[in-house]
Amino acid sequence: IDFKTTMASVEFPSIFLNASGVNCMTVAEMDEMINAACTGGVVTKSATPQQREGNPQPRYYQLEHGSINSMGLPNAGFPYYLDYVTKEHAKPTILSVAGLQMSDNIELLHKIQASEYTGLTELNLSCPNVIGKPQVAYDFEETDALLAEIFSFYTKPLGVKLPPYFDLVHFDQMAAILNKYPLTHINTVNSVGNGLWIDIDTEKVVIKPKQGFGGLGGAMILPTALANVRAFRQRLNPSIKIIGTGGVTSGKDVFMHLLCGADMVSVGTALLHEGVGIFQRLTDELAAIMAEKGYTSIEDFRGKVQDF
Ligand SMILES: O=C(O)c1[nH]c(=O)[nH]c(=O)c1I
């Protein structure tokens, strides 16, 4: 089964990527993603202008059906990741960037525009865990203004990382904004912001930052992720591709993301728990489902989820 795919004229040898933040903080982790079987490439940890320690620990906790995190954007700093993606690698890279305010985002994209890097960049508009900073992508006017400013100078391939939306009118409003710009892709969903979990023995929350509030990931967010992939596929120009993220733990989940219209699929929580071997498993499980159904290509069913 041929799982390679092309996005913004970049050929990915597989549809599978890591969710930004997982297995992508260091050169060693990013190399591991690229060298692993059945990966399409690597998405870097979202980079800020300077290196950041992030929030105090514990800041990640595994739940029965997923995860909760309030990492706080720890990263090695923009130069580290720009240096990595500008080097030659066996598979494509996606450079994720996250400014802490609008001027950071503009500054980072000017630097990428002026750099030697010609690959894809992903602007993270949805980090839920920077204390005191709202998610840009929940402010439609700010998102529109930011993209207008960026596309007044930026000419390289650019996508955006979106939070989940939960209101059909919000899908309409956000898609109307995104359709105005020559985006290569959207990556949806980021973690479901500001969940909370409690250890009943200690009667304490399970992560230290933000009084225990953190982004939810893993199996429990799959229905939300599928809805966001489908909603945006229905509304966005076909030229804007979709990386489906959220809740993927099996080939069945990958199949559902693809039915909703995803072009690529990224894995976060399950990758953290299982390691990069997960991509071979997901590939085998997806191939088995396709064989059972008589599909020989993802194009046979991509985006073809049926209404009841
Ligand atoms: O807390 C984080 O570092 C983080 N955590 C997430 O769940 N999503 C994000 O986009 C980020 I930048």
Distance CA 189, CA 197 (A): 20
What is the edge-to-edge ordering of all strands in the sheet holding 66-69? 60-63, 66-69, 213-217, 192-196
Q: Is the CB of 127 under 6 A from ligand 1?
A: yes
Distance CA 14, CA 265 (A): 9
CA dihedral 143, 258, 27, 59 (to 10 degrees): 70
Q: Is 38 a catalytic residue?
A: no
Q: pLDDT tens across 8-40, in order?
A: 899 999 999 999 999 999 999 999 999 999 999
pTM metric for this prediction: 0.98
294 CA to middle of ligand 1, Å?
39
Which residues are within 8 A (CB) of 200 and not within 5 positions of it... i.e. 6 or more apart? none
What is the edge-to-edge ordering of all strands in the sheet holding 158-162? 16-18, 264-267, 241-245, 185-188, 158-162, 120-124, 93-97, 42-43
Q: Is the CB of 124 under 6 A from ligand 1?
A: yes
Which residues are within 8 A (CB) of 163 and not within 5 positions of it... i.e. 6 or more apart? 125, 126, 128, 135, 137, 138, 189, 190, 191, 192, 193
CB atoms within 10 A of CB 28: 8
Helix (H) or strand (E) holding 226: helix 222-235
Average pLDDT over residues 242-256: 98
Q: pLDDT tens across 46-67, in order?
A: 999 999 999 999 999 999 999 9
Average pLDDT over residues 238-260: 98
Query: Ligand 1: which atom is nearest the Cα of residue 127?
Result: 10
47 and 93 Cβ atoms separated by less than 8 Å:
no
168 pLDDT above the threshold of 70: yes
Query: Ligand 1: which atom is nearest the Cα of residue 98?
Result: 12
ipTM higher than threshold 0.95? yes
